[in-house]
Amino acid sequence: MRSVFLIALCVLALALAAPPQEKGIIINLDNGELCLNSLQCKSSCCLRSSGVSLARCAPQSAENEECSKKSLYGTYYRCTCESGLKCEGDLSIGGSITNTNFGICRDPKSS
Amino acid sequence: MVGHLAISQCVSTQIISYRTLGLPFLLPGAEVCFENLGCFSDDIPWAGTAERPIAQLPWSPEEIGARFLLFTQQNPEYHQASKQREKRKICQGTAWECTKPIQNHEITTNKEILLASNYNGTRKTRFITHGYIDKGDENWLLDMCKLMLQVEDINCICVDWKKGGRTRYTQSANNIRVVGAQIAYMIQLFKTIYQQRPETVHIIGHSLGAHCAAEAGRRTPNLGRITGLDPAEPYFQGCPALVRLDPSDAKFVDVIHTDALPMIPYLGLGMSQAVGHLDFYPNGGEHMAGCEKNIISQIVDIDGIWEGTRDFVACNHLRSYKYYSDSILNPEGFLGYPCSDGDVFESVSVLFLLGFKAHRGRCFPCAEGACPLMGHHADKFRRPSGAEKMKFYLNTADARPFGRYRYKVSVTITADRALLLTGSMSVALYGMEGNTRQYQVKKGVLNPGNTYEVYIDVEKDVGELTKMKFIWNNSVINPMFPKLGAEKIVLQRGKDRHTYTFCSSETVREDVLQTVPLCTSV
């Protein structure tokens, strides 16, 4: 947690030091850049592989790929679906708490 | 007398200028000779030209201390930590065991060591050489060997000359001449000991290593292939062919350019000059995708801090070997399109005054057999005889896997009412082997009835196309709930010029996917 805080501080310092550019430092982040919340990413998915790993912006899941339902955590273990797609899977209370409401992206029209 | 005075003055000012600069002054025409390798002078064109102002003689082979690490399918792994221990353990045993080569198969030009190693003269041999400051047991060289051993049975030799590379750049740029000569001498030994033809030898060199390979190739007639991975620019670009990598150095020379901007002022480390039979410029050759991350994201890399720091220093420059490594297992994702320059390859339709429209994304699709694969499988390309410096362009992804597949999409849109809409629209490809992500076709004013054309580089090969999906998004909230649809989508595949046509009469609201099947009758 402390390291995350430290990184956040560094990012903030950099953002204040650097002049505004097209490419974001805090928001509008490209894929592969470190993030703390999905709102920062251009792709609106801030992905982490495990609970302790760092999160990076990643492309959203395409149809038939694994996905997470939208959550309040801000980061995901699987990205949310691209527009027009629905993440079909179980929605459980346990899953909501542990951020593991996984599913598969499907087109609601074609099924 | 006056003339003599003028000359001596000139020489003395030269000495002073060199001394005040703190640079070693060497008499022009100095020469060093080494056993089995021949002599090396610092005369023109090796020094004293505008490109190579500082004269420096190469170090001796002992000072450079080049090592040759052999990997074969019998020993694909490398254990650095165990190496010293093992050597000590063996040499505490009998004298016979001491003469045995150590476990990690470091080979030398000693005939006994070569014969006792796993080296096999009937197999192909590939050397990999690193560049400035780098080292031969760095992960990328070992990983490249491992990947190649997965697909073919070869002798893979990582050339480590780190002592010769961790010095002043000007010295390092001359040390590669000795390393190149050592490689050439080793290839000559393979010929005498194993009757192995030089045609079966391939040297892969990154940065300075590319010119090192060129030196080896210059000394080896009929060398099979040299791959230059972003050959170093300072001291080589614009120099005569003797000094640098050149198509004459091997029977087949392929080059990947990833950092082609000029050294001054952009710090581009690679050459922009075409120096091979085939020259690939992925992403235009100057700015690689994924190399413009902020400093923390760059250094704190997925592959660890070390890889991240390397990328922070020279991301574009190091991409060349990453593409090459990726292309070993995934050849199809690196199809190069012949083109005169990167701007022409990039997908822009320019609307000139008076409605005259010119398409600039012209180097598409591939003519029959005109597109080589960048990287490991570039040698499968049937090159027109005598052709040199052929330029090829392609785009890659921003992270591994780097391979991409290029298509041209033309979307004709329709709406139920004639509306002025602003927003963005995207398409996704669906084929026998899966589907792709959504790729944006247009952002801005969407005019029903118009056709929008764009080139997309998708992340996977979906096989034979079965359908497409269209989606659009209204950027301004519109209480009329407009509906828009793709009337016709024409998709052309880059690799074989195959064209698919998809039709639909449906229209959809924003953020709803429209399925567009193949046209039943055209």
- How many Å apart are CA B200 and CA B84, to the nearest integer? 33
Which residue stretches of chain A have pLDDT < 50? 9-21
CA distance B410 to B450: 10
Q: A32 and B398: CB-CB below 8 Å?
A: yes
Q: How confident is the model at residue B81 (pLDDT cuts 50, 70, 90)?
A: very low
The pTM score is: 0.86
Where in the sequence numbering do the catalytic residues of B fall?
A: 207, 230, 317
Residue of B181, B213, B226, B209 whose CA lies nearest to B37: B181
- Judged by CB atoms closer than 8 Å, whether chains meet at B428 and A63 is answered as yes
pLDDT grade for B10, boundaries at 50, 70 and 90: very low
Q: Residue B419: its pLDDT value, please?
A: 75
Cα first-last separation, chain B: 92
ipTM of the complex: 0.79
Mean pLDDT rounded to a whole number for chain B: 86
Residue A21 CB-density burial (10 A; 0-12 exposed, 13-18 middle, 19+ buried): exposed
From chain B, the residues in CB contact with A85 under 8 A are 513
Interface test with A, best of B513, B514, B515, B516 (most A CBs within 10 A): B513
Banded pLDDT at B177 (limits 50, 70, 90): very high
Task: Say if CB B102 and CB B114 are below 8 A apart.
Answer: no
**Is A7 within 8 Å of B296 when comparing Cβ atoms?**
yes
Sole residue written with tokens 């949310």: A80
Query: Mean pLDDT, to the nearest integer, of B345-368?
Result: 63
B214 CB-near residues (< 8 Å, 6+ apart): B180, B205, B226, B228, B244, B245, B246, B249
Which string of DSSP letters, residue by residue, matches A55-109?
Answer: PEE-PPB-TTSEEE---SSS-BSSPPBPTT-EEES---HHHHHHT--EEEEE-TT
B515: nearest CB among A59, A60, A110: A110
Lowest average pLDDT, out of A48-52, B67-71, B104-108, B152-156, goes to B104-108
What stretch(es) of chain A map to CATH 2.10.80.10? 31-106
Confidence of residue B105 (pLDDT cuts 50, 70, 90): confident
What is the topology classification, in CATH, of domain A31-106?
Answer: Lipase, subunit A (2.10.80)
Q: What is the rounded CA–CA span in Å between residue B161 and residue B159?
A: 6
* B445-475 pLDDT per residue, tens: 999 999 999 999 999 999 999 999 999 998 8
List of residues 6+ apart from B79 with CB closer than 8 A: B103, B104
DSSP H or E run through B169: helix B169-194
| Structure tokens belonging to residue A59 | 């492309």
Strands (E), B161-286: 201-206, 225-229, 252-256, 278-282
Q: How many CB atoms lie within 10 A of CB B391?
A: 20
Whether B126 has a pLDDT exceeding 80, the answer reads yes
Q: Where are the beta strands (DSSP E) in B432-494?
A: 434-435, 439-446, 451-458, 465-474, 484-493
- Cβ-contact B301, B313 below 8 angstroms: no
